[in-house]
Structure 1
Amino acid sequence: MDFFEQNINRIGTSSVKWERTKQVFKTDEEILPMWVADMDFRPPEAVTDALKERVEHGIFGYTFTADSVGESIVSWMEKRHNWEIKNSWIQYSPGVVPSIGKAIQALTEPGDKVLIQSPVYPPFYSMVKENNRVIENCQLVKKNEQYEIDFNAFEQCLKNGVKLFLLCHPHNPVGRVWTEEELRKMAELCLENDVVIVSDEIHSDLIFKPNKHIPLASLSEEIADQTITLVAPSKTFNLAGLQASAIICSNNDYRLKISAIDKQIGAFTLNTFGIVAMEAAYRQGEEWLEELLQYLEGNIELVENYLSEHMPELKVVKPEATYLLWIDCRQLGLSDAKLNHLFVEKGKVGFNPGTSFGKGGEGFVRMNVACPRSTVKEGLARMKTALQS
């Protein structure tokens, strides 16, 4: 675990997390960044070794994504998620967000409705709006310290003319790992209403026991035929800057339509280093991932215990997945503007404001704990200072 205790200075690396904090939070103060979803950990040594070897070769011309990359994804999905896929089902994209945009463009028309479940990852909103589609929202319901789906409302939304459903699975920011029963119910309702499903499963490897990630498309051939699954090593292994992700889809018609979008914009391959890193991570990163999950659980437990003892007004929604903590601050009785001011100006710590995730995010903040434990402790101390002020 000493590997994850290292404090690595990221200043001077064009880090969005560490070098854009002042602009994001509109302050001149030095803010401890615990917001954007990347980790302050180096990736598995096998990944950096593979990248070094590629750099040593010294020639970086046009590169294609070899079959071996797809084979590494096929193997990973079967081993980690008991999902048998074919290499021919895989397409590549620089990231999950561009993949969402391509799927929306390929499988819907301007003015069509796209269903989301707020509070949810902000690019779900922007990709719908930027592509001139209309958001249909079925807000998640918080019950007994956990989030659930209102299936009556979900079905009604689908009947309102929805053409595509963006599923966040596991869910960011509330940390839910959807159960097989929940997944089947959502999928069956989408099938009944002829709604395409785009399942963002980028956090699917960051699951805490006893929870288990079930790829939506693994439930049946019929469901798979109407589902596009988006995955990437970026969250799992902290490789977001290398811009490599995969689109998995058994429906050949869907794949052809997505390929047509790539042709329109002239996209034909991934970044050379993204290709190398993705294959190395999926082939050799599992042991590192298991150690990471243990370390993250320790960080989460630390936050839960500290808040319970020192700031009982703040409640962590127990995450089943991800390194992102959804913290309920509503007992403070503050407006979102005042809550943000309190943490930024008084505590000098930067969280994602809950309002950035849409309806249902009011009074919450999202805290990133994928960092050394010393950073988590510093963040908690700053939160305490903010509340004492």
Structure 2
Amino acid sequence: MTAWTTTPITPDLVRGALDLVPTERGLLPQRLPARARAQVPDEQTAMAVAQPSGVRLVVRTAATQLELDVVRTTNSYAGAPPRPDGVYDAVVDGVLVERATAPGGDVLEIDMVTGARALRRGPVGTVRFRHLPPGEKHLEVWLPHTEITTLVALRADAPVSAAPEGAGPGGASRPVWVHHGSSISHGSGADSPSTTWPALAAALGGVELVNLGFGGSALLDPFTARALRDVPADLVSLKVGINVVNGDVMRRRAFGPALHGFLDTVREGHPEVPLVVVTALACPVHEDVPGPSAPVVDDGGVRFVATGDPADVPAGRLSLRATREVVTEVVRARQAEDPHLHLLDGLELYGPADAEEHPLPDALHPDAATHRLVAERFARWAFSAGAPFSAAR
């Protein structure tokens, strides 16, 4: 019979979260601090912030078996097929060795047409890893990027202790990379939490990831800018454009000043940190057609269409092509006084030819293979010798 050792889940075991909120059932990781969350104006952003993309338990242990009790919150969309269960990745010394899922949990029922939501409560579930390699190791348990996850209890068949702060496989301290973006940065379409494009790029670059990619919510919100300003960071990147278009939340007149203000706030906390601004990846439905996007739900799942009128673009309504023009203008104007500011054209990560070869399955979000493609291209652009992020490594 296995002799289990229970380890209290404390903040020093958790990386990638900006807050751990005590609840009646356990600790809820949040990716914005309390002050920012108090200013979140909508349920979509609140849900995205609570989904723990990039959040993981990081420990030292000789355990070969580990159990994690959790309460997950899954989403059910009216009229659409059930979504696959969220995945927990066990990464040992930098290598993915095992995946697992959790039973039970709460279900959030969402009507994407009306926006109506209802929560059904469910029981605590247990994630089980049974085949971890023997010997002392650096173990990361990545939480599902698509499921809100409350951490309840941690057990293993050997003692578990927190890994040194910032240490990666091998024990060396690694630079902290903070990234902010939209649902693609959040991980929509990725196979698992350690294979979103930011997670893969962080592994290739040998850095510690803090992922502030929020599905549907990369909208240049001041509360997000302040969170980026205040979080410790050696490297910062921002990917902006798509949510401003598919939410139809700004016109050209407001977008440029809003980006300036966002960058001003980030620079208050990180005046000389390498800062990369990434324009939008290719998205054929919105290249020349403004938002808002609208979901179409059928037996095949959910796909999105652009509902704006291209004739409105000359008057200031934003297409994706227009956002790239504005972002480029803003960054170029600032670079004369900010030698650590860099611009990356998102079409270098995923461009029109890629959209032909690797089309977006729902017209907005990439598949798992495209996450890997984007990660490899970003890592090569950012982390290679002499590249914008190379010096911090």
TM-score after normalising by structure 1: 0.29
Name the structure with the higher helix share.
1
Greater fraction of residues in strand: 2
> Normalised by the size of structure 2, how large is the TM-score?
0.29
